[in-house]
Structure 1
Amino acid sequence: MRIGIVCPYSWDVPGGVQFHIRDLAEHLIRQGHQVSVLAPADDETPLPPFVVSAGRAVPVPYNGSVARLNFGFLSAARVRRWLHEGDFEVIHIHEPTSPSLGLLTCWAAQGPIVATFHTSNPRSRAMIAAYPILQPALEKISARIAVSEYARRTLVEHLGGDAVVIPNGVDVDFFARAEPRPEWMGRDGGGAGPAGESSSGTGPVGDGGGPAGRREGTIGFIGRIDEPRKGLPVLMRALPKILAEYPGTRLLVAGRGDEKEAVAQLPAPMRDRVEFLGMISDEDKARLLRSVDVYVAPNTGGESFGIILVEAMSAGAPVLASDLDAFAQVLDQGAAGELFANEDADALAEAAIRLLGDPARRAELSERGSRHVRRFDWSTVGADILAVYETVAAGAASVAADERIGLLARLGLGRD
């Protein structure tokens, strides 16, 4: 099948939507399909062979973050050229309501269109106000996908219609097979074990972990440091209480942003317990998640899914997350990971302390998460998305056949 996928956000600034589109494209290519992805990208950005640049994006504040979008006459011309050259059987647009390539493609495309809605924003005045402009484009969509029940709810409440819920996908085995890095593990070799079982454990720590019997553990955080909704400030406020109980604990932070500002609120003696890793590769992300004793997701809002939770569970990391609706759904309402009250640093600290001191509970969460996460593997998610493609392509072919028969009948050329 010839499949065109439209990414609304700049390829050179990675995020959950871009990762989802990349992994979906690679999965479909492995299945033997022809896939082309149209995405904004700076000229110097290295692109995979299946990605076509639509030009540089412009940063626009949106939903507590900064979306880098691409819009205008030049972009519209590139969309039309991409559609013509691709001759796609199905066009899959992500975030078709954003003022970027998705909306331009909706306006220009003639073939069957599948749209995926990622945003969870129950009070989007902008989306409501823009509905009259969006309606003609949305009417061209053949099938709608929402990545979570909360993204579906946003769609229904703001734009009408409905969508099938198909979650974001992850290569579970990629994370499960990753080798932990010793320097990212607790002193007694904590972190997820070879089969997704926690090997973190027991016994005195020695010279780095406080009182005998209190081990040196590691907590992981991955996300943009200077984006408040990712919740690092909440984790920083919780850290002194955690360190008071377990002085040897280390916080490993991966992501871009101002590192000095991130630790500014910490007492000076505690700042060396935070290790900033900067931007890390996919391979190192998997190794980090395999190495930590607890992965913390303190996000404060604006999340429609939570792919990092799925990745952490895939690696066997015990997960502790804020109780956002989307996170609770991903974590099976707390059965596959622990939840704490959103933006409550004390609640986060108390939960982290309990987990750091309870290797049996960490092992239980690791095992439950490893089982639960299989429903998010690309082998399942990719098959569900492909079924949507096949349905809309077959529908379009059927309509075209009916129109041809009708035309022949009007010309008197149909069969008796």
Structure 2
Amino acid sequence: MRVGIVCPYSFDVAGGVQFHVRDLAGWLLREGHAVSVLAPADEDTVLPPYVVSAGRAVPVKYNGSVARLNFGPVTAARVGRWLEDGAFDVVHIHEPITPSIGTLALWQAECPIVATFHSSQVRSRAMQTVYPAFRPSLEKILGRIAVSEDARRTVTTHYGGDAVVIPNGVYVDRFAAAPVRPAWQGSPERPTIAFLGRLQEPRKGLPLLLEALPAITRAVPGVRLLVAGPGDQEAVRAAVPDGCSVELLGAVSDDDKAALFRSADLYVAPNTGGESFGIILVEAMAAGAPVLASDIPAFVRVLDGGRAGATFANESSGSLAEAAVALLADPARRAELSRLGQDRARQFDWSVVADQVLAVYETVLLGAPAKPRGAVSRRLEGLGRSLTQGLGDSLGRGARRS
């Protein structure tokens, strides 16, 4: 099968959607399928051989975060060439209504289309403005996937139709086999807590964790917080409360991330919202880290209702501190959460998830009407030109403001 996968977010910056696209493409390639991924990327970005750059992205505030997106007439032409050259049996677009290359592919593709919706959100004002123009193209999607019930609810509420829930995937064995790093490994007297996320993104919850850290330190004087992720480390260092031990690791590789999870006594996910799934929890569980997470709905579902990991009241530093102290004082409970978490993570292994995605491809191909391959229809070309110009101007203004 010839599969084209479209990632709306830039491969320059690590993120859940990018990891999902990369890992799905790798699994399909190993299974013998021909795969090409189209994604924004800067010229100097080192890309896997199966990734085609759609050009440089610009930072835009989107869904409570800053996403690096790519849009406009020049990008539309690149998308069109990629579709023509690929002659795909199916095109799989991630986040098709994000104003990036996914919408351009949706307008132009003539082969069967599958879409995965990752986000859990209400529509933004910008999306409400342009949604009427998107509606005809959304009807081209023959297979809809949502990574969680929260994402599925977004689809059914705001975009019409339904979606099958297929979660994000993780190569569980890679995390389970990661080595323990002595420098990150704790001891009964000096346990380690790990955090991983974009440092300056408030919804990832680092400020909340730092707020809870003095109470944790008073109860467990030797505790160390290991903070990994891209961002301004000096700003974080300036925010560390007096008397608390925090080590800033910066952005980490996949191998280092797995080793961090394997080595820490406790992984804390203090995210405050805007999450539709929680792939980071699955990765931590796969590595055997006992997980403590905020009780936002997406995280509670990943943790099997709280059975595979502990939770605390969202946005409550006191609840976070109380739960962390209790777990650090209870090695048996942490060992139990580690075992239950690893069992739970197996349900999200790519060997399970990718088979479900492939089944959607096959179902879509069986039900798709036969269409001759050829140039993009004039109607969609005209629609694409007008909308890319308008949205491109809007994105440019947003990028200048951010």
TM-score by length of 1: 0.88
- 2:307 aligned to 324, 327, 335, which one? 335
Alignment partner of 1:182: what SS? Answer: coil
Q: How does 1:361-380 map to 2 (within 5 A)?
A: 361-380=333-352
Alignment partner of 1:167: what SS? Answer: coil
- Residue 392 of structure 1: aligned partner: 364
1:349 aligns with 2:324: no
1:41 aligns with 2:41: yes
Alignment partner of 1:180: what SS? Answer: coil
- 1:325 aligned to 279, 289, 297, which one? 297
Determine if contact 2:12/2:41 at 8 Å carries over to the other structure: yes
1:236 Cα shift?
A: 0.1
- Residue 308 of structure 1: aligned partner: 280
Determine if contact 1:128/1:158 at 8 Å carries over to the other structure: no
- Aligned partner of 2:21: which letter? I
Q: How does 1:108-187 map to 2 (within 5 A)?
A: 108-122=108-122, 124-187=124-187
- Aligned partner of 2:364: which letter? V
Determine if contact 1:114/1:143 at 8 Å carries over to the other structure: yes
TM-score by length of 2: 0.91
1:299 aligns with 2:271: yes
- 1:233 aligned to 207, 210, 216, which one? 207
1:63 Cα shift?
A: 1.4
Change (3 A) 1:179 1:327: same
Determine if contact 1:178/1:287 at 8 Å carries over to the other structure: yes
1:123 Cα shift?
A: 5.5
1:252 aligns with 2:222: no
1:276-318 Cα offsets, whole Å, 9 max, x none, are 1111110110000000000000001111111100000000100
- Aligned partner of 2:181: which letter? R
Alignment partner of 1:183: what SS? Answer: coil
1:26-78 Cα offsets, whole Å, 9 max, x none, are 01101111000000000000000000001001111011110111111111111
Larger Rg: 1
C-alpha distance in 2 between matches for 1:254 and 1:5: 29
1:85-125 Cα offsets, whole Å, 9 max, x none, are 10000100000001111000011000000000011013644
- Aligned partner of 1:281: which letter? S
Determine if contact 1:240/1:266 at 8 Å carries over to the other structure: no
1:373 Cα shift?
A: 1.0
C-alpha distance in 2 between matches for 1:176 and 1:341: 29
State the identity %: 66
- Residue 205 of structure 1: aligned partner: none
Alignment partner of 1:93: what SS? Answer: strand
- Residue 224 of structure 1: aligned partner: 198
Gaps of 5+ in 1: 189-214, 402-416
1:160 Cα shift?
A: 1.1
Determine if contact 2:240/2:246 at 8 Å carries over to the other structure: no
1:377-397 Cα offsets, whole Å, 9 max, x none, are 00000000000001111222x
Determine if contact 1:321/1:340 at 8 Å carries over to the other structure: yes
1:229-279 Cα offsets, whole Å, 9 max, x none, are 100000000000000011111000111112232243433332xx1001111
Determine if contact 2:210/2:241 at 8 Å carries over to the other structure: no
- Aligned partner of 1:390: which letter? E
- Residue 256 of structure 2: aligned partner: 284
Misfit runs of 4+, over 6 Å? none
Q: How does 1:81-96 map to 2 (within 5 A)?
A: 81-96=81-96
Determine if contact 2:168/2:279 at 8 Å carries over to the other structure: yes
**Count of matched residue positions in the alignment of Structure 1 and Structure 2:** 372
Determine if contact 1:114/1:389 at 8 Å carries over to the other structure: yes
Determine if contact 1:236/1:263 at 8 Å carries over to the other structure: no
Alignment partner of 2:66: what SS? Answer: strand
1:358-389 Cα offsets, whole Å, 9 max, x none, are 00100110111111111100000000000000
Determine if contact 2:270/2:314 at 8 Å carries over to the other structure: yes
1:97 aligns with 2:97: yes
State the Cα RMSD in Å: 1.3
- 2:238 aligned to 227, 244, 264, which one? 264
Gaps of 5+ in 2: 372-402
C-alpha distance in 1 between matches for 2:149 and 2:241: 41
C-alpha distance in 2 between matches for 1:365 and 1:126: 42
C-alpha distance in 1 between matches for 2:137 and 2:225: 46
Determine if contact 1:292/1:317 at 8 Å carries over to the other structure: yes
Determine if contact 1:128/1:159 at 8 Å carries over to the other structure: no
C-alpha distance in 1 between matches for 2:147 and 2:209: 27
- Residue 68 of structure 1: aligned partner: 68
